């Protein structure tokens, strides 16, 4: 049964890719850049969340409604817009194994292109919104994402920030979008989702998102793992992520290493203290465990639950 749902998901995701490919901009000088950005999608995990939660309330062998596909594509566009801006802010040369748009077109054009993708996301969501609460939720989540980034900015180069502060940062910049993706699925497909379905979407999405960012942050120090992005970016930018914060909490001498402003020395320290990465991995596993737990006794239909459980297991095996 779940294999049937997996095939359906694969078909739905092909439609999301096609929907993204249809997107065009009226701004002729940037048509190719816009096209390249939308076609160079990643694994589209957030779009898959929209589809799976749309399928969560209605066990069906039918393809999902076009509105759901459009909503999933729009969620990917919001994600992409944030990445285009993020790469300017982080001055990152590579994303998804390709040169970033600001390295080709300059920072100003890249910011405008990010704005353009963000505006289209808003326009598309307004077109498919079932009600004004839907729009409010989308807009509120964009505020949360920007808020998370501002927390990160305010904590930059501060060796006294806490793990709680880091949690607040990643809850805004990453987990909020995962949660929104799950909620978007139920809002677009479930007639009356009910409290339990809504709570499942929130808890599953939020915890998966927290784990996802922690794993991303650990990978930034793992030179052997090919992520299609440069390494040691966070520490170079003065962004202290979980392994570093755990080190700062344990060893007051680590502060001097951080303040020496040498990413290589920080890497050497972390390699000499593997328990810091291990504890960070365990924290990610705990969040994944909470995501899986949210599925137990939830109203999510059994086949979709199996796929979501498999996704959690796949991520857990990578941590």
Q: Is 146 in the site for ligand FPP (CB under 6 A)?
A: yes
Shortest distance (Å) from residue 10 CB to ligand FPP: 25
**How many residues form the binding site for ligand FPP (CB under 6 A)?**
17
- The residues in 77-116 that bind Mg ion, with binding defined as CB under 5 A, are 86, 90
DSSP secondary structure of 107-175: HHHHHHHHHHHHHHHHHHHHHH-SSHHHHHHHHHHHHHHHHHHHHHHHHTT-TT--HHHHHHHHIIIII
**Closest listed residue to residue 16, CA positions, set 48, 58, 42, 55:** 48
CA distance 91 to 98: 14
Among 77, 110, 145, 208, binds ligand FPP (CB under 6 A): 145
Q: Is 118 in the site for ligand FPP (CB under 6 A)?
A: yes
Residue with the shortest CB distance to Mg ion: 90
Among 5, 25, 169, 174, binds ligand FPP (CB under 6 A): 174
17 vs 111 by CB, closer to ligand FPP: 111
SS3 94: strand
Q: Is 290 exposed, middle or buried (0-12, 13-18, 19+ CB in 10 A)?
A: middle
Q: Which does 146 bind (CB under 5 to 8 A by kind): Mg ion, ligand FPP, none?
A: ligand FPP
Q: How many angstroms separate the most distant Cα atoms in the chain?
A: 60
Q: Which does 23 bind (CB under 5 to 8 A by kind): ligand FPP, Mg ion, none?
A: none
Integer CA distances (angstroms), 228 to 38, 87, 224, in order: 17, 13, 12
Binding mask 215-254 for Mg ion (x = CB under 5 A): ----------------------------------------
- Interacting residues with ligand FPP (CB under 6 A): 81-82, 85-86, 89-90, 92, 114, 118, 142, 145-146, 149, 173-174, 216, 229
């Amino acid at each position: 049964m779940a294999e049937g749902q997996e095939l359906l998901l694969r078909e739905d995701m092909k439609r999301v890719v096609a929907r993204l490919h249809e997107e065009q901009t009226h701004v002729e000088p940037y048509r190719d850049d816009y096209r390249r950005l939308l076609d160079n999608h990643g694994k589209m995990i957030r779009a898959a969340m929209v589809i799976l939660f749309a399928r969560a309330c209605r066990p069906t062998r039918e393809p999902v409604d076009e509105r759901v596909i459009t909503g999933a594509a729009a969620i990917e566009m919001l994600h992409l817009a944030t990445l285009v801006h993020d790469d300017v802010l982080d001055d990152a040369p590579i994303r998804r194994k390709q040169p970033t748009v600001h390295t080709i077109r300059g920072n100003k054009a890249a910011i405008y292109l990010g704005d353009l993708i963000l505006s289209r996301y808003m326009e598309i969501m307004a077109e498919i919104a079932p009600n004004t609460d839907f729009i409010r939720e989308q807009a509120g989540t964009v505020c949360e994402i920007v808020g998370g980034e501002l927390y990160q900015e305010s904590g930059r180069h501060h060796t006294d920030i806490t793990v709680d502060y880091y949690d607040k940062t990643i809850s805004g910049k990453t987990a909020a979008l995962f949660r929104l993706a799950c909620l978007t699925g139920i809002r677009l497909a479930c007639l009356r989702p009910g409290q339990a379905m809504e709570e499942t979407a929130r808890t599953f999405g939020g915890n998966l998102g927290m784990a996802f960012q922690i794993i991303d942050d650990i990978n930034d120090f793992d030179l052997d793992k090919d992520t299609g992005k440069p390494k040691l970016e966070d520490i170079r930018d003065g962004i202290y992520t979980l392994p570093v914060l755990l080190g700062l909490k344990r060893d007051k001498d680590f502060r001097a290493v951080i303040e020496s402003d040498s990413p290589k020395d920080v890497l050497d320290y972390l390699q000499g203290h593997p328990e810091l990465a291990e504890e960070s991995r365990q924290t990610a596993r705990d969040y994944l465990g909470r995501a899986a737990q949210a599925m137990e006794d939830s109203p999510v239909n059994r086949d979709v639950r199996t796929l979501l459980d498999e996704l959690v297991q796949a991520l857990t095996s990578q941590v």
